[in-house]
Chains A and B, each alone.
Chain A
Amino acid sequence: MPGNARIFSSAAIARNPAWAQLLGLCPLLAVSNTVVNALGLAMASACVVIGSNVSISAVRRIIPDEARLPCFVLIISTFTTATSMLLEAFSYPLYLKIALFVQIIVTNCMILARAESFAARQSVGRAFLDAAGTAIGFALALIILGLTRELLAYASILRDAELLFGAAASDLQINFGAIDASGPLPLAAYPPGAFLVAGLLYALVNATLRRRQPAQTPTPKAMQ
């Protein structure tokens, strides 16, 4: 696989921030009760991780080692604040629903981890690919969890789509029962349900990955 494609796929799948590294779980569990909320947070996180990774890579040569961490936090918090302001200005109803979690993106270990371990050591192009992969990996985790929870809690998909896509998008909502009826597991809309669903999905992902790996027979040396 070519180097650039490997950087991207590794960040999105093999080192998926949510499922492989278990980073950024607080907003992941809190906001993923519907697909639309999950998409909103995924887009906000993508803006921050891509913007901060590219900026950190661009200025990496002028940042001395001793000032690395404060500079990274300064840059990440700038992008978080800017994203929050843009969301409040141009998507106010969605902002009211997810604002608290957009503000705490600044403390998301996923973003600082990519800045520290990759962006600070690589060129702008490679940092962009890594950030895009990380953002897509986090978005996939958010959307899969949001889709599962929304189906279980509300028996619908794309509930409140107008919050993200405008008034015309309210027709996008698909209901598998009566409108505003509960789904088979209303608990999935709440934090305890988020832990249960995320735990089950995590187990499913691990089981699938292990099944795809060839069985390893322990060597006599390893058994000693």
Chain B
Amino acid sequence: MVRVILSLLLIGGICGTLLVSIDKSTAATIAANREARARTLMLDMLGASNETNLEFHSEVFGDCQDWVFQRVQASGYAGLIDVLVLWRAATGGLQMRVTAHRETPGIGDFIDHARNPWITTLDNQPPVHYANLDNVSGATITTAAIRRAAQLASQQVEDYCAR
């Protein structure tokens, strides 16, 4: 029994050390890649030019007279789903794009706009529309996560603009 525990601890320690060292050497590049993609997505959602200043200084930013961007997270079937949300003052509608997820390929990955246009068909719909979204068969937890993300985003915008 002692030998089993010791071998598990030893293998776990070696594996953990290897992963920590790879994480340290790649973390900055990965963060830069994610930021660049988020910026491209934001420009695309706004229909703006490259010169537009879109830097996330906090999880919510923007001018409440025009638009507000925010990042929200909701629990999906296989972990957290990261969502980028644009709220437009003119329509009061939300635009959402999933930036990271681990949903089951072919079942829950319809939320990824690069694989399926489903989420783009909801663009500029008011929060109440998102709250009443039908569950997608076989991916009810994933759909519930999108409803939750829209609810969180709507609440955050209200709080942000009330300040």
Binding site for B on A (CB under 8 A): 30, 59, 62-64, 66-67, 70-71, 74-75, 77-78, 81-82, 85-86, 88-90, 92, 96-97, 100-101, 103-104, 191
What are some 5 contacts across the A-B interface (CB < 8 A)? A74-B11, A78-B18, A90-B29, A92-B33, A101-B105
Residue numbers in B under 8 Å from A89 (CB-CB): 26, 29-30, 33
Residue numbers in B under 8 Å from A191 (CB-CB): 106
Docked pose: A90 CA to B19 CA in angstroms = 16
Interface residues of B, dominant DSSP: helix
Residue numbers in A under 8 Å from B15 (CB-CB): 74-75, 77-78
Q: Which of A74, A89, A90 has the most CB of B within 10 A?
A: A89
Stretch at the interface among B1-9, B51-59, B118-126, B155-163: B1-9
Residue numbers in B under 8 Å from A71 (CB-CB): 7-8, 11
> B30 contacts A75, CB within 8 Å?
no
In chain A, what residue has the closest Cβ to B28? A89
3 tightest A-B CB contacts, nearest first = A89-B26, A78-B15, A89-B29
In chain A, what residue has the closest Cβ to B99? A96
Residue numbers in B under 8 Å from A62 (CB-CB): 7, 10
Tell which of B26, B33, B37, B102 touches A86, judged by Cβ atoms closer than 8 Å: B26
> A67 contacts B12, CB within 8 Å?
no
> B30 contacts A30, CB within 8 Å?
no
Docked pose: A103 CA to B101 CA in angstroms = 12
Docked pose: A77 CA to B15 CA in angstroms = 9
Tell which of B8, B23, B103, B114 touches A85, judged by Cβ atoms closer than 8 Å: B23
> A64 contacts B4, CB within 8 Å?
yes
Docked pose: A78 CA to B114 CA in angstroms = 28
B138-162 contact mask (Cβ, 8 Å, vs A): 1 or 0 = 0000000000000000000000000
> A88 contacts B4, CB within 8 Å?
no
Interface residue tally on B, bucketed by range: 20 to 34
Residue numbers in B under 8 Å from A74 (CB-CB): 8, 11-12, 15
* Besides A71-B11, A74-B12, A100-B103, 20 other A-B contacts (C-beta < 8 A): A30-B105, A62-B7, A63-B11, A64-B7, A70-B8, A71-B7, A74-B11, A74-B15, A78-B18, A82-B22, A86-B22, A88-B26, A88-B33, A89-B30, A90-B26, A92-B37, A96-B37, A100-B105, A103-B102, A191-B106
Interface residues of B in 12-37 (CB under 8 A from A): 12, 15, 18-19, 22-23, 26, 29-30, 33, 37
Docked pose: A30 CA to B106 CA in angstroms = 8
In chain A, what residue has the closest Cβ to B33? A92
- Contact A64:B22 (CB < 8 A) given known A89-B30, A92-B33: no
Docked pose: A97 CA to B115 CA in angstroms = 9
Residue numbers in A under 8 Å from B103 (CB-CB): 100
Q: Which of A64, A81, A101 has the most CB of B within 10 A?
A: A64
Residue numbers in B under 8 Å from A103 (CB-CB): 102
> A100 contacts B109, CB within 8 Å?
yes
Docked pose: A100 CA to B106 CA in angstroms = 10
> A85 contacts B4, CB within 8 Å?
no
Rounded to whole Å, the gap between the CB of B84 and the closest CB of chain A is 14
Residue numbers in A under 8 Å from B8 (CB-CB): 67, 70-71, 74
Residue numbers in A under 8 Å from B12 (CB-CB): 74
Rounded to whole Å, the gap between the CB of A66 and the closest CB of chain B is 5
Docked pose: A5 CA to B117 CA in angstroms = 49
> B22 contacts A85, CB within 8 Å?
yes
Docked pose: A66 CA to B7 CA in angstroms = 10
